[in-house]
C-alpha cells in the first residue's frame, strides 16, 4: 500500500507557548539529500533512532510519504557526509482531544521558529478546538520551514 501523509501545519504563538507546560522534548537532527518541487528525501536521527524518508509533491494537505528506520550510525554518517541542508529541532508531542500535536522548536539558524503539525486520518477530519498556542495555518506554504534559509 502506498504511504500517505495527511497533515496540517501552523505557526505557534511564541508568547503563549513560552508559558505552556510542556513535556520533555526529543532532540532531532535532520538533513536533506534532495529537495525539489516533486520529491524530498531526508535523513533524520534522534538519540536512539535513524530514519530515511521520501516525500512526494504536496496535493492539498496530502502527499505520498515513505519512511524507513535505518541504523543510527548510518543515519549520522549520511547526515554528516551527504546533506547540504540540515536543521536541528526539539520536538514536543502533545495529545489534545483525539489527535497528537507535534510541536517543533527550531534551533540555530532557524531559532525562534516554532511549527505545530498534526497528522490526520482523512482530509476532512476536524481538529477543533485548536490549542490556545496555535496561530496562523501554513499548511499550503510548502516553503515552511525553508522560508528561512537553512
- Active-site residue list: 32
CA distances from 150 to 11, 35, 44, 105, 111 (A): 18, 12, 15, 14, 11
Any residues with CB less than 8 A from the CB of 6 and at least 6 apart, and which?
61, 62, 119, 120, 121, 122, 123, 125
The Cα–Cα gap between 76 and 78 comes to 6
Is residue 118 classed exposed, middle or buried when 0-12, 13-18 and 19+ CB atoms within 10 A define those classes? buried
Amino acid at each position: 500500500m502506498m504511504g500517505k501523509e495527511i497533515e496540517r501545519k501552523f505557526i505557534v504563538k511564541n508568547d503563549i507557548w513560552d508559558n505552556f507546560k510542556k513535556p520533555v522534548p526529543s532532540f532531532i537532527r535532520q538533513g536533506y539529500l534532495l529537495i525539489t518541487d516533486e520529491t524530498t528525501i531526508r535523513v533524520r536521527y534522534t538519540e536512539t533512532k535513524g530514519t530515511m524518508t521520501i516525500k512526494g509533491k504536496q496535493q492539498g494537505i496530502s502527499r505520498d510519504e515513505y519512511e524507513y528506520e535505518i541504523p543510527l550510525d548510518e543515519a549520522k554518517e549520511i547526515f554528516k557526509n551527504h546533506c547540504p541542508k540540515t536543521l536541528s529541532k526539539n520536538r514536543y508531542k502533545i495529545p489534545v482531544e483525539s489527535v497528537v500535536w507535534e510541536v517543533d522548536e527550531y534551533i540555530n539558524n532557524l531559532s525562534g521558529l516554532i511549527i505545530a503539525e498534526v497528522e490526520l486520518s482523512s482530509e476532512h477530519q476536524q481538529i477543533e478546538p485548536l490549542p490556545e498556542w496555535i496561530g496562523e495555518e501554513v499548511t499550503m506554504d510548502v516553503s515552511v520551514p525553508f522560508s528561512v534559509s537553512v
